Structure 1
Amino acid sequence: MNRLRWLRRPWQVALAGMALAGVLAYAGIGAFVWWQAEALLANPPQRPADAALVLGSRAYLDGKPHPCLAGRVDTAVALARSGLVKQLAFTGGVDSEDGRTEAVAMRERAVATGFAGPMLMEPASTSTRLNLSLSRPLLLAAGVRSVVIVSEPFHLWRVARLVKMSGFDQSFDVQYAAAPTSCWTALGPFSKGALREPAAIVNNAFRGFLF
């Protein structure tokens, strides 16, 4: 009887199948992102570069600098202190979640850590794609020809695809630095950003930004 009841409602079977396929696809993308993230963490940039470009994220959490974004800035500052990059560039506009300008919050974080080197700011972008496109003229005007792009590990596979598809790598020699932020080290692929990344990849892919 149960089988016959399901046969009378084939749309339910189709819906359940679609839901299962969606869950499996999401999990597969998440696993791929995690594998790519681990590879990037194991292979930090090696060549000197003119600048580290730090991509924006939510600036504040509960009235304090967001640890995920702070970790990105700290990674860039460490690159500068090691002599691998000459200056820092921060890209990110006003965050709708906290009303703060991400680039400003990143500069404040760098200064708070004691960094006193040259810094560039792009304070208008509201997406990863715009981070790249709006930073390009700023970097070129500053004479930058080689860049280390800094973001959290889960983010950088999509960033690399956007770099390639936008031609950003035709303007700059590009390397990537995966920032082992406290968000990543605590939760890894189960951090909020990492869990949202498969949806961002699907969205960008459907809009033709990645392939």
Structure 2
Amino acid sequence: MRRWALAALAAGVVGYAAIWLMVWRTAAERLANPPLRNADAALVLGNRAYLHGRPNPCLTGRVDAALALAQAGRVPRLVFSGGVDREDGRIEAEVMQTHAQQAGYTGPMVLERASQSTRQNLSLSLPMLQAAGVKRVIVVSEPYHLWRVERLVRASGFDRAFDVQYAAAPSSCWTRWGMAFKGALREPLAIINNAGHGYLH
């Protein structure tokens, strides 16, 4: 039994490491290859709203990446997707909106305030994007999040409704070692969870 337990543990470690490697390779590729085409909107995926009493840099960094797209004339509107943060009760989409306004953004914004997961970010934002006449969308998130996002986009059919590109946010969650390490370690667990529920293709 001990031998079988050790073998199972070793297989789990190898599998986890393989997923971790895919996550980081995709992250590096997305950072090196930003979106090439203009789009009708940037869809910013939610994250924890606050950290240590301040807006979470993992969230505001995503907004900053979307603002850069808008300032470069790549997108005319921003869509913020994120519901109530279970840890502090704030609505992620509203925190993102406030950050964008404080940064001086005055363009159109659409808020999706109900989602509680990446899968719901996509599914609940889809009708809002369609109602706004969006045909082309740039999905914005952390670099280490995009491997899973791409597969959820395909599995859900989101890419059949829109021409989808991806933008990796080079925020402090990526550049600060501790945050990147924590996020990248947690992401394989989210991938395993989503795959176990049949959400990933």
**Corresponding residue number in structure 1 for 2:83:** 93
Per the alignment, residue 3 of structure 1 pairs with none
Q: Write the mapping of 1:166-181 to structure 2, written as runs, cut at 5 A.
A: 166-181=156-171
Secondary structure of the residue that 1:176 maps to in structure 2? strand
Any stretches of 5+ residues in structure 2 without a counterpart?
A: none
In the alignment, is residue 21 of structure 1 matched against residue 11 of structure 2? yes
**Are residues 1:45 and 2:22 paired?**
no
User: What SS class does the counterpart of residue 124 from structure 1 fall into?
Assistant: coil
The 5 Å alignment of 1:184-199 reads 184-187=174-177, 190-199=180-189
Deviation at 1:165, TM superposition (A): 1.0
Q: Secondary structure at the match of 2:90?
A: coil
The 10-residue stretch of structure 1 (185-194 or 199-208) with the greater mean CA deviation from structure 2:
185-194
**In the alignment, is the contact (CA less than 8 A) between 1:91 and 1:102 conserved in 2?**
yes
User: What SS is found at the alignment partner of 1:84?
Assistant: coil
Q: What displacement does 1:189 show?
A: 8.4
Which residue does the alignment assign to 1:109? 99
1:126-152 alpha-carbon deviations (Å, 9 max, x no partner)? 000000000000111111111000000
Q: Say which SS state the counterpart of residue 47 (structure 2) adopts.
A: coil
Q: CA deviation at 1:98?
A: 2.1
| Offset, 1:13 | 1.5
Contact 1:154-1:189 at 8 Å conserved across structures:
no
Provide TM-score, normalisation by structure 1.
0.92
* Correspondence for 2:155 among 148, 151, 165: 165
Q: Considering only CA atoms, is the larger Rg found in Structure 1 or Structure 2?
A: 1
Counterpart position of 1:8: none
> For residues 18-167 of structure 1, what are the structure 2 equivalents within 5 Å?
18-167=8-157
Cα distance in structure 2, aligned partners of 1:191 and 1:50 = 33
Q: Distance in 2 between matches of 1:106 and 1:122?
A: 11
| Identity between Structure 1 and Structure 2 (%) | 61
The residue matched to 2:191 in structure 1 has which SS?
A: helix
Give the TM-score of the pair, scaled to structure 2.
0.97
Amino acid across the alignment from 1:27: A
Q: In structure 2, the residue corresponding to 1:86 is in which secondary structure?
A: coil
Structure 1: runs of 5+ lacking an equivalent: 1-10
**Cα pair 1:189 1:195 within 8 Å, conserved:** no
Judged with a 3 Å threshold, the aligned counterparts in structure 2 of structure 1 residues 188 and 32 are, in CA distance, closer, same or farther, namely: farther
One-letter amino acid of the structure 2 residue matched with residue 86 of structure 1: P
How far apart are residue 191 of structure 1 and its match? 2.7
Task: Tell me the alpha carbon deviations over residues 26-81 of structure 1, each in whole angstroms, 9 at most, x when there is no partner.
Answer: 11110111011000100000101000000000010011000111100000000000
What amino acid is the match of 2:171? T
